Amino acid sequence: QVQLVESGGGLVQAGGSLRLSCAASGTIFSINFMGWYRQAPGKQRELVAVIFSGGNTNYADSVKGRVAISRDNAKNTVYLQMNSLKPEDTAVYYCHTKGAVVPGGPFVDSWGQGTQVTVSS
């Protein structure tokens, strides 16, 4: 299991923008995907966006057109650019990946500790 560290969360006004970063630490041989999830108080964790090893991306309908996920493979880092933020985007955002640390080794799920995003109205 690799360690994931999120950053970039904070307080922003409605209509504003924010960029989240997630860096995977340690030696990683390969990563199947990296993605972002979020969880608001009293609600279940939901997928926001994911980028696969081949470059394909998927977005939740609620954020489509407002967010963009990107990656820097050399740094094992994934970014989430969020624009036109709404109060309903307020949640703890979690980074998630599934990767192998050694050649031929198993792919293991890893989760970050989360970063708080608060959008004021």
pLDDT of residue 17: 98
Which is nearest to 36 in space by CA: 6, 1, 76, 66? 6
**Is the pLDDT score of 1 beyond 80?**
no
**Is the pLDDT score of 30 beyond 90?**
no
- 85 vs 3: CA distance, rounded Å: 28
**Is the pLDDT score of 55 beyond 80?**
yes
pLDDT of residue 81: 98
More confident residue, 69 or 72: 69
